[in-house]
A and B are shown apart, each in its own frame.
Chain A
């Protein structure tokens, strides 16, 4: 299994992003999501949580959209959810991804009520709306270790 491309401690250095010949500048894994990536390193999906409102949020949230609190905590997701939407991608964005095409990307609705973009793997399948999904971790074509969901 290859190493994740992100060096968490070097976020300020940035990773060059390219699309074919076009430079898109530097991508910087950001300090506010560091705990999410650390969670992935130990195979946990970490979510943001407002302890005042008892509400879960997307791992990228900085403030609670209900009470405005900025002291959101991190809590691990249970790892279960349902398929909310999906698309099977035949025309991939790059050669690396084309090697894995077709593949299914979509939005999972976690039991905690948070929606995340993810890769759906039919196991046993099929991938369809409201099908049960369970958390796993895979190194995808991007060489990133990512939270994926097994469906069926």
Chain B
């Protein structure tokens, strides 16, 4: 039984603009965002003057302006009455749609335009150094020389210690991500062929226990995705609305080592730890809002820049018990052949990671409407998308559906 917000709004317009490394034209984040937004408005069949709310993800690292939301708004010549940037790291991408659902249900606006975009793969040369400085505490972590993988590795170290996960279990995720990427024309690793568990274990160590192939590849291009959200009564006037069945979000910290200063919180428990994340809370809320259960989900996309994160998220999303993610994947449950449809673009590990990852939602909508040529999942009616950012700091979960349940 869905709650009041469950199925209360739908995606009625969708737009995307993508570039690959080899494309002659290197579009800026602002070009990508403007084009995808215009596409979404056209796709919804509405006029730009009807957009009442405009929510963007955080400012792209490759296009710094103090007010990115307004920079993009200025391009589109729209005049929303409710506009803001949604941060919360990568979780803010789905956060734009969550805020959109609330905005259109308030009755103050009819249509919300929700956009995230990035072109960092085109412009930033030193991603390792740039990320490490941006994702570590400037006083209490950065001076020790951490990298982004090494910050996530603190969680991997505890996860493997507490639950007995092995490097082989982590590697299995990378293998299956790659299998899906080989089917996607834009995936970063589409021409690199299949990999084996041994390939992952034999790839060079980046930050123990994470090997090169346990790590996401930075998407070598640019992607922007845009969505038009409206409430149920108006969605019925549009062709093929994709219903937002439920959503949830939770943030627990900013810096990973200070996560260990958080205690006595429902999500974390009495003692501080690194292995419970806000994904569990976000998923619980999304399931309750939609009245759905993990067994109802046909297709799943996770925001996981390192292999072990997939295992943790499979657990927290309810597809297996806490600590059993490794056994779950080794049993073939996410196999490209015969497993659940899991990261159908190839995931961050093989499609590539780009900014806040809202392209995972675009892919899910494509799959739901049978538009995922070459990788179409049969009978994909209900999809779950997870977004996360920071060092497992912020998590969002959204469930979308082709049919509107009551």
Q: How many residues of B are in contact with the other chain, CB < 8 A?
A: 46
Collect the chain A residues with CB atoms within 8 Å of residue B106's CB.
none
Roughly how many angstroms separate A90 CA and B211 CA in the complex, as a whole number?
10
Tell me which of B126, B132, B141 contacts A21 (CB under 8 A). B126
In the complex the two chains form, is B257's CB within 8 Å of A22's CB? no
In the complex the two chains form, is A89's CB within 8 Å of B257's CB? no
Roughly how many angstroms separate A85 CA and B260 CA in the complex, as a whole number?
11
In the complex the two chains form, is B140's CB within 8 Å of A116's CB? yes
Q: Tell me if A103 is interfacial: C-beta within 8 Å of chain B.
A: yes
In the complex the two chains form, is A90's CB within 8 Å of B138's CB? no
Q: Tell me if B158 is interfacial: C-beta within 8 Å of chain A.
A: yes
Could you say which of B80-88, B199-207, B369-377 contacts chain A? B199-207
What interface size band does chain A fall in? 35 or more
Collect the chain B residues with CB atoms within 8 Å of residue A80's CB.
none
In the complex the two chains form, is B139's CB within 8 Å of A33's CB? yes
In the complex the two chains form, is A30's CB within 8 Å of B144's CB? no
Interface residues of B in 186-219 (CB under 8 A from A): 204-210
In the complex the two chains form, is B124's CB within 8 Å of A22's CB? yes
**Contact residues of B: prevailing secondary structure:** mixed
Q: Tell me if A10 is interfacial: C-beta within 8 Å of chain B.
A: no
Roughly how many angstroms separate A114 CA and B262 CA in the complex, as a whole number?
10
In the complex the two chains form, is A93's CB within 8 Å of B147's CB? yes
Collect the chain A residues with CB atoms within 8 Å of residue B274's CB.
85
Tell me which of B130, B150, B161, B204 contacts A89 (CB under 8 A). B150
Q: Tell me if A42 is interfacial: C-beta within 8 Å of chain B.
A: no
Interface residues of B in 70-98 (CB under 8 A from A): none
Tell me which of A57, A87, A129 contacts B161 (CB under 8 A). A129
In the complex the two chains form, is B129's CB within 8 Å of A88's CB? no
In the complex the two chains form, is A88's CB within 8 Å of B145's CB? no
Collect the chain A residues with CB atoms within 8 Å of residue B153's CB.
87
Tell me which of A21, A29, A85, A129 contacts B125 (CB under 8 A). A21
Roughly how many angstroms separate A105 CA and B146 CA in the complex, as a whole number?
7
In the complex the two chains form, is A100's CB within 8 Å of B139's CB? no
The 4 closest A-B pairs by CB, nearest first: A20-B126, A115-B260, A87-B153, A19-B129
Question: B residues touching A (Cβ–Cβ < 8 Å)?
Answer: 124-126, 128-130, 132-134, 136-147, 149-150, 153-158, 161, 204-210, 255-258, 260-261, 263, 272, 274
Question: A residues touching B (Cβ–Cβ < 8 Å)?
Answer: 17, 19-22, 24, 27, 29-30, 33, 57-61, 65, 84-94, 97, 100, 102-103, 105-107, 109, 114-119, 129, 140-142, 144, 146
